[in-house]
Structures are given as structure tokens and as C-alpha cells.
Amino acid sequence: MLPLLTAAQIRQVDAYTIANEPVSSIDLMERASKAFVSWFVNHFPDKRNTISVYCGTGNNGGDGLAIASILYEHGYEFINVKIVRFSNKVSPDFAENLQRLQSLNLTTESIEQGQTAPQETSDILIDAILGSGLNKPLAGDYLELVNHLNTLDKTIVAVDVPTGFYTDGEVDSDAAVLKADLVITFQQPKINFLLPESAPFIKCWEAVNIGLHEVFIESLQSPYLWVEEKDIKAVLKPRSRFSHKGTFGHALIIAGQAKTMGAALLCSSACVYAGAGLTTACIPESGLTALNSYQAEIMAVVRKAYEMPELKLDSYSTIAIGPGLGKDEDALALLQYVLEEYKQPIVVDADALNLLAEHPRLMADLPAGSILTPHMKEFDRLFGEHSNWWQRLQTLQQKTQELNIYIVLKNSYTMVGCPDGKVYFNSTSNAAMAVGGMGDVLTGVITALLGQKYTPEQACVTGVYLHGKAGDELALPNRLQVVLPGQVAARIPATIAKLL
Ligand SMILES: NC(=O)C1=CN([C@@H]2O[C@H](COP(=O)(O)OP(=O)(O)OC[C@H]3O[C@@H](n4cnc5c(N)ncnc54)[C@H](O)[C@@H]3O)[C@@H](O)[C@H]2O)[C@@H](O)CC1
Ligand SMILES: Nc1ncnc2c1ncn2[C@@H]1O[C@H](COP(=O)(O)OP(=O)(O)O)[C@@H](O)[C@H]1O
Ligand SMILES: [K+]
């Protein structure tokens, strides 16, 4: 897991690395700039590109100067360096890199205070004006320059952070930010890159490792963690030779209504594909034929209106409740029954979440370690309206600790909040997965993993990763704009196989 740090923590790590590793500040800057260029060259291999590098006079600008030199040495000939001299403060590494640059045959020009931005003829602009040192919203000359550059319709590649963008804390949707087509960021994605409010400012980003002191990074104990493939590989367990269906748990999925049987089918089917030994769906009578024809492997317990089905809850190793369940009295009675009778962690999704929101007293009855899987709207119904995602992230940490549960807050970088306050950010999934029913599949996958004796934390983190990865494997190679939930469910075994 890659710890995600705030800007203040990153400054600490930079300083610690320089003090404790055999690397000077200027060499660390050189390392970062080389890492930037190695990605840049991948994206823009044509050396005839005309490139303007806008450099502030702090360390972000220092990176910009080093990047200009390295690009030039790589054979990019058409480089203009534009030094934004709006401040009299100059960082030592900036000054040193400026001196180094002067030995190369590169055109540099300065943009002075109060001066309007000069003509721009380059195709690509590299933004090294301000980075993680941002400490107030842009104003004055900076604001004017950024607004002007935003009107030019050029390809903008930001160094570390787009100028004007806060890497943590609340993001103002009206903020003045130099909008980046690509951000090549150092060491780790910045926390706010992972929240939807970054969308207007950042089209895409890449993180490049610059070798900051990893032991010190760990020692900061950031609650925010980025999940990588190696983390999932370390958790997934291959099946042993003498295993049998009883080894992998019996999952009960309480879901579906006449008009929303699809949710029950998708959820139960995903549970089967994600490896549950046995899967039983508790569904309305009207859905039985659909269930049997959709997936022969699923067993059924039939519900009749106004009648509690006979459920021997203790015979199940795990229970999920909610997809397509509806919110009528029967649904509420079922939820209450499960909360009263079942003492192991359960998975609560969709309508069961909405029932919890309408009857918040029930939340105290959730078995310890249970998993809620809301999307943004369900989350706000449960815990109140939020005006931004940073606030939602804080509530996620607060509620998981208070209720001793896990919350999977679904998004393009789905967050898994844990009872100890940790939050995992998922690195898989894509917009082709924005299709109704996709969440039902996720619930099925998490439930199956829980039944296979993964801990609730592992079930959430691994389930979210596998679900997104299956969607990526289906959509990305062929640039599909749409993948269907049923396809994602059926893909899960192949996704797991690849990781094992
Ligand atoms: N050794 C290091 O510390 C490393 C730093 N790196 C680079 O250094 C950057 C951070 O550098 P700095 O801390 O020098 O900060 P920046 O270069 O981001 O900003 C420079 C200075 O501008 C001022 N400023 C902030 N917000 C402003 C605003 N709205 N209007 C006007 N002035 C403002 C601040 O005094 C700030 O220190 C990173 O983003 C990264 O690019 C990399 O070279 C990796 C190593
Ligand atoms: N733009 C996107 N990028 C990445 N993942 C997405 C995107 N849109 C949706 N998803 C994923 O699809 C699922 C949608 O869940 P949800 O909204 O509950 O769907 P439903 O209620 O229809 O089943 C979530 O796991 C979410 O992470
Ligand atoms: K920048």
C-alpha cells in the first residue's frame, strides 16, 4: 500500500530524505525532473514538438528548469523557457538550475510583475509555475497569467501539481487553476487527484517514483493508502487441492423484487463467480423462474408477501442484503430480523442502506465489522448532505470508527473506510462501468470473499480492486465505452487467475 501524504507531510519527507539519504536537494530535484521527462517522452515522442516551459521561482520552477535542460539533451530542440518573476523570493535550487541552464543554447525570457503574458506559439506548455507549495488562492499577476493560459487551448502538462490546485483539503470548484491535460506527479498521487472535484482541472495523471525515504513515509502513518496490484496479490489465496464447496462458505443474498429482480440476479451471480462455495438467494416468488434460468448454480429461498421467509441465518457463513430489495414493510422486517439474529459481519447495499437512512437507530445494531457499500447519494442519505468530497472523506473516517464498520464509498477511486480510521483508495475501474447494476455485482464479489474467510477489510479492498480490474480488462484493451455488469461478474475468475 502506498501511503498518500498531504503537502505538508511531503515537505517533511523531502527534507528528511535530503538530510538522511546520500542525495542533495539539487540532486533530488534532478531525479524528479528525470522521472518527469521519462514519462513525458512516452506521451510526446515527437521531438519536433514546440514546448514552452513556464517556471516560477520556487522549487517547482526549479524542476521546470531542470526539465527544460533534460528535454533539450534528449533532442527536443524547440524549447522556450519562460520565467515567471512575480515574486522576489528565489529558491536556491531554482537559482542553481538557472545557472546550469545558461550553459545550454536555450532561449529564456522573463515575465515580470505587471507585465501581460507574451505571445505563445508553442504546442505544449509545461506548467512549473507553482507546485505543492501553494499557500493561498491565486490572485493578481498569477491569476491573470493562469486565466490567459487557460484560454489558449494548448496541451498543458503540469509538473507535480497544476498551478493553483490544492493537493489536500476542500477544493473550490471556482478556483483559478491552470487546467492540465496531464499531470506528472512525484512519488504518489496527491489525495485531491482522487476526488471528483479534480475533474475540471486534471484530465489525467501519472505518478512517478522519485525515491523518497520510504521508512520515514511509513512512520508518518498516513490514514490514506493507495492500493496497488502487489497488495492484492499478497492477499489472494489459491485454492488448496483438497478443498470442497464447504471450504468456500455459503452466502445468502437477500435481494430483489418483482421489478428489480435483475439486481438480485447480478449480485448472486457475482457471488458465484467470485468463488462462494454455495450461494442462496432469498427472492420473491415471482423471480424464481428468472433465477433458475439465469444461473443454475444459485439456490433459492422464496419470499411471499407479508410473510417472513424461513431463514436459518446461522447456517450461512455470510449475508448480503439490499440490492433491488425495495423499502416496503417486508423489506424492513427482513433487515431488522437479520440485524437481530445474525452476529457476524454482513454486507448492506442499496435499498437496505436507504432503510438504514430512514431508520437510523438500526445502525447501532449492525454486527461489528459489517460492510456498507453506498454510492455518493446513499452515503449522503445515511450521514447527511455534504457539499464536497473532502468533507465526505472526513465523515467516512468518523462514521467507520464510531460504528465499528467498514464503508465502501463508491466512486471512480472507490474508498474503503475502516474502523481504525484508515481509508484505502482503489486504483482500478473505469467510466465504462457506469452502468446500473454494477454496484450489485460489487456487493456479490465482496460477499463471496467474506464467505471465503477473508477478513472484512481484505474482502472490501480486494473485492473493490477485482471488480474494477475485471472492468478494466474488459473495457480498456478495446477502448469500450460500456461494459455490462453481468460481463464483469463473469470475468472475475479470469481476473483472479491473472493475479495469482
Ligand atoms: N526537495 C524538494 O523539496 C523537492 C521539491 N520538488 C518540487 O518542489 C515543489 C514545491 O516547491 P516549493 O515548496 O518551493 O513551492 P512552489 O514552487 O510550489 O511555490 C513557490 C512559492 O510560491 C509561494 N506561493 C504559494 N502560493 C502562492 C500564491 N497563490 N501566489 C503567490 N505565491 C505563492 C510560496 O511562498 C511558495 O513557497 C513541488 O511541487 C515539486 O515540484 C521536487 O523537485 C522534488 C524534490
Ligand atoms: N466513472 C467511473 N469510473 C470508475 N468506476 C465507476 C465509474 N462509474 C461507476 N463505477 C463503478 O461502478 C459501480 C456502480 O455502483 P452503483 O452506483 O451502486 O451501481 P448500481 O446501484 O446501479 O448497482 C461502483 O463500483 C463504481 O465504482
Ligand atoms: K505546476
> Which distant-in-sequence residues (6+ apart) come within 8 Å of 146 by Cβ?
129, 138, 163, 164, 176, 177, 178
For residue 349, the ligand 2 atom closest to its alpha carbon is: 18
Tally the domains of the chain: 2
For residue 266, the ligand 2 atom closest to its alpha carbon is: 23
Distance CA 83, CA 128 (A): 9
Mutate to test the pocket of ligand 1, among 54, 60, 159, 166 (most ligand atoms within 8 A of CB): 60
**Cβ atoms 409, 415 nearer than 8 A:** yes
Q: Region 435-449: what's the mean pLDDT?
A: 98
Between the CA of 81 and the centroid of ligand 3 the distance, in Å, is 14
Q: Is 62 marked within a binding site? A: yes
Asked if the model's pLDDT at residue 117 lies above 90, the reply is no
Q: Which residue has the higher pLDDT, 106 or 53?
A: 53
- Name the 3-class secondary structure at 185: strand
Residue holding cell 473506510? 417
Cell numbers linked to 478: 478495446
Strand-strand pairing, 124-128 and 107-112: unpaired
Among protein residues, the one whose CA lies closest to atom 15 of ligand 1:
133
**Cβ atoms 379, 394 nearer than 8 A:** no
Q: Is 462 marked within a binding site? A: no
Residues 98 and 146 in one domain: yes
Beta-carbon-side half-sphere exposure of residue 308 (alpha carbons within 13 Å)? 11
Q: Region 480-499: what's the mean pLDDT?
A: 98
Asked whether residue 10 is domain-assigned, the answer is no
Mutate to test the pocket of ligand 2, among 438, 440, 466, 492 (most ligand atoms within 8 A of CB): 438
Strand partners, 126: 53, 157
Distance CA 206, CA 220 (A): 23
Mutate to test the pocket of ligand 1, among 134, 168, 208 (most ligand atoms within 8 A of CB): 134
Residues 215 and 324 in one domain: no
Q: Is 133 marked within a binding site? A: yes
Q: What is the CATH number of the domain that holds 397?
A: 3.40.1190.20
Residue type, 247: T
Residues 90 and 198 in one domain: yes
Asked whether residue 142 is domain-assigned, the answer is yes
Residues 171 and 241 in one domain: no
- The model's confidence at residue 103, banded by pLDDT at 50, 70 and 90, is confident
Q: Is 20 marked within a binding site? A: no
Between the CA of 437 and the centroid of ligand 1 the distance, in Å, is 44
Final residue of a domain: which of 202, 222, 242? Answer: 222
Among protein residues, the one whose CA lies closest to atom 15 of ligand 2:
439
Between the CA of 10 and the centroid of ligand 1 the distance, in Å, is 11
Q: Which ligand is nearest to the CA of 136?
A: 1
Among protein residues, the one whose CA lies closest to atom 13 of ligand 1:
133
Q: Region 93-103: what's the mean pLDDT?
A: 93
Mutate to test the pocket of ligand 1, among 132, 159, 210 (most ligand atoms within 8 A of CB): 132
Tens digit of each residue's pLDDT (9 = 90 or more) over 413-430: 999 999 999 999 999 999
480: phi then psi, degrees, rounded to nearest 5: -65, 140
**Count of positions (residues) in the chain:** 500
Question: What residue numbers bound the domain in which 271 lies?
Answer: 229-499
Beta-carbon-side half-sphere exposure of residue 139 (alpha carbons within 13 Å)? 3
Q: What is the CATH number of the domain that holds 209?
A: 3.40.50.10260
Residue type, 158: A
**Cβ atoms 283, 303 nearer than 8 A:** yes
Final residue of a domain: which of 161, 195, 222? Answer: 222
pTM of the model: 0.95
Report every protein residue that has its C-beta within 5 angstroms of ion ligand 3: 60, 127, 131, 158-159, 163
Q: Euclidean distance between the first and final Cα of the chain, in Å?
A: 18
Residues 368 and 247 in one domain: yes
Residues 55 and 96 in one domain: yes
For residue 159, the ligand 1 atom closest to its alpha carbon is: 41
The ipTM of this complex is: 0.94
Least confident of 7-11, 105-109, 163-167: 105-109
Among protein residues, the one whose CA lies closest to atom 14 of ligand 2:
439
Q: Which ligand is nearest to the CA of 144?
A: 1
DSSP 193-223: GGSGGGTTTEEEEEEE-----HHHHHHT--S
For CA atoms 251, 257, 263, 265, the dihedral sign is: positive
Residues 87 and 167 in one domain: yes
Distance CA 398, CA 373 (A): 16
472 lines ligand 2 (CB under 6 A): no
Q: Is 355 marked within a binding site? A: no
410 lines ligand 2 (CB under 6 A): yes
Asked if the model's pLDDT at residue 237 lies above 90, the reply is yes
Asked whether residue 133 is domain-assigned, the answer is yes
375 lines ligand 2 (CB under 6 A): yes
Tens digit of each residue's pLDDT (9 = 90 or more) over 324-357: 999 999 999 999 999 999 999 999 999 999 999 9
Distance CA 89, CA 92 (A): 10
Residue type, 28: L
Residues 319 and 258 in one domain: yes
Residue holding cell 491573470? 144
Asked whether residue 462 is domain-assigned, the answer is yes
Which among 338, 487, 454, 348 is positioned nearest to 408, based on CA atoms? 348
Q: Region 280-296: what's the mean pLDDT?
A: 96
> Which distant-in-sequence residues (6+ apart) come within 8 Å of 217 by Cβ?
3, 5, 13
Distance CA 136, CA 143 (A): 11
CA–CA distance from 177 to each of 55, 159, 174, 211, 404 (Å)? 15, 13, 9, 28, 39
Asked whether residue 1 is domain-assigned, the answer is no
Query: What pLDDT is recorded for position 210?
Result: 94
Q: Which ligand is nearest to the CA of 464?
A: 2
Final residue of a domain: which of 182, 202, 222? Answer: 222
Asked whether residue 82 is domain-assigned, the answer is yes
Q: Which ligand is nearest to the CA of 374?
A: 2
- Type and span of the H or E element at 465: helix 456-475
268: phi then psi, degrees, rounded to nearest 5: -65, -40
**Cβ atoms 119, 60 nearer than 8 A:** no
**Cβ atoms 354, 382 nearer than 8 A:** no
Distance CA 53, CA 61 (A): 9
Asked whether residue 2 is domain-assigned, the answer is no
Query: What pLDDT is recorded for position 104?
Result: 87
Asked whether residue 9 is domain-assigned, the answer is no
Residue 344: count of CB within 10 angstroms of its CB: 16
Asked if the model's pLDDT at residue 71 lies above 90, the reply is yes
Residues 145 and 34 in one domain: yes
Query: What pLDDT is recorded for position 127?
Result: 98
Residues 214 and 326 in one domain: no
CA–CA distance from 408 to each of 84, 294, 405, 419 (Å)? 44, 28, 10, 12
- Type and span of the H or E element at 110: strand 107-112
Residues 165 and 253 in one domain: no
Q: Region 7-22: what's the mean pLDDT?
A: 92
Q: Which ligand is nearest to the CA of 255?
A: 2
Distance CA 477, CA 85 (A): 45
Tens digit of each residue's pLDDT (9 = 90 or more) over 163-197: 999 999 999 989 999 999 999 999 999 999 999 99
- Cβ < 6 Å from ligand 1: which residues? 14, 25, 28-29, 32, 56, 58-61, 63, 87, 91, 130-136, 138, 142, 159-161, 186
Provide, rounded to the nearest whole percent, the portion of the chain with pLDDT above 70.
Answer: 100
Residues 136 and 282 in one domain: no
- Name the 3-class secondary structure at 251: strand
Which among 451, 450, 469, 468 is positioned nearest to 414, based on CA atoms? 468
**Cβ atoms 232, 468 nearer than 8 A:** no
Q: Is 414 marked within a binding site? A: yes
Between the CA of 388 and the centroid of ligand 3 the distance, in Å, is 24
**Cβ atoms 496, 236 nearer than 8 A:** yes
Distance CA 418, CA 397 (A): 7
DSSP assignment letter at 156: E
